Amino acid sequence: MIGFLFSKSTLEQVFSNPFFLLVVIFWAWMFVDAVRREEWIWALFIGFFFLSAIFYYFLVYRPNRGSAGMPSFELPGAGDRSRIRELEDQIHHLDKAHHHAELGEIYLNQGKLEKASACFDAARERDSEDLDIMALQGRCFVAQERFDDARQLLEKVVSDDVRHDYGQTQMALGEAYSQLGDLPKAIAAWSSVLEGNTYSQARVLLAEAYLAQGQKEAAREQLQEVLSDSSHTPEFQRRKERIWVKRARQLMSKAEAT
């Protein structure tokens, strides 16, 4: 199918027939989406049989979009772009701290760190004591590798609310500690997170810290929890934590080495 789509005759049809162009765009969209989701079997079938793209759309793509409360078919990033425009209008007319913060969070999730940082600066100028804004800016500092700045902000948030954002803030603080070379504090932070949550990310990061200290048995316990839980979690959760399960499998071989 891939060879056919990129053959000379096919490309000539694409540029001369708008309908055929739409068909090719749809096929490519479903193929890329399958690869992005790491649906390798689907990607293989879509790559060789066009009709598989149609089945994939109805069996995988559409249900997953609908489960998130989003339209079943829209351009990638359309929701974010629409919300960005809304927030920019609200900032222009109202200039509220939480509008700046929400805009910054969108940019942070998109990996646009400079824009995110500017939004969080603006948000904190308007409300310097809001824990949610401080936590978001701390996460942005971690992504920017400004680990000491992140530590200072995140420590303030965690000191006021140790369970802030269901432990996500303390997990980011643990990463800042780890990058600053303070493994005991990083281990304490991630262990604290796991007292009230079962995040695979926290377990894997904690296991890595244990391995760095030569505590292989402790690392194995955390990794085994991740691998055991992965077979009993709902499908949407497995997709979300797939990267950490994969990392746990890779680390397990190191932890089992004598």
Query: Which sequence spans correspond to the domains of the chain?
Result: 2-67, 84-197, 198-258
Residue burial 75-89, b: 16+ Cβ < 10 Å; e: rest: eeeeeeeeebeebee
- What count of other Cβ atoms lies within 10 Å of the Cβ of residue 115? 16
Is the CA virtual torsion 193, 195, 200, 203 positive or negative? positive
Check residue 74 and give its pLDDT.
45
Distance CA 29, CA 53 (A): 9
Q: What is the pLDDT of residue 108?
A: 93
Residue 234: per-residue pLDDT: 75
Question: What is residue 19's predicted lDDT score, i.e. its pLDDT?
Answer: 67
Domain 84-197: top CATH class: mainly alpha
Residues 6+ apart with CB under 8 A from 40: 34
Q: What is the DSSP string of 131-178?
A: HHHHHHHHHHHHHTT-HHHHHHHHHHHHHH-TTGGGGHHHHHHHHHHH
- Enumerate residues 6+ apart whose C-beta is below 8 A from 177: 151, 183, 185, 186, 189
Quick one: the chain helix, strand, coil %, rounded to 5? 80, 0, 20
Residue 111 DSSP class: T
DSSP string, 58-101: IIIIHHHHHHTTS-SS--TTHHHHHHHHHHHHHHHHT--HHHHH
Q: What is the largest CA-CA distance in the chain?
A: 66
User: Within 13 A of 102's CA, how many CA atoms are on the CB side?
Assistant: 16
CA-CA distance, 19 to 21, in Å (whole number)? 5
pTM of the model: 0.71
| Closest of 140, 64, 159 to residue 101, by C-alpha | 140
The answer to whether residues 55 and 64 touch, using CB atoms and an 8 Å cutoff, is no
pLDDT tens series, the chain, 258 aa: 545 455 556 555 555 666 666 777 888 888 888 887 777 888 888 888 878 888 888 877 766 654 433 344 444 455 688 889 999 999 999 999 999 999 999 999 989 999 999 999 999 999 999 999 999 999 999 999 999 999 999 999 999 999 999 999 999 999 999 999 999 999 999 999 999 999 999 999 999 999 999 999 999 999 999 999 887 777 767 777 888 999 999 999 888 775
pLDDT at position 66 is 41
- For residues 226, 110, 29 and 1, what is the CA-based torsion angle, rounded to 10 degrees? -70
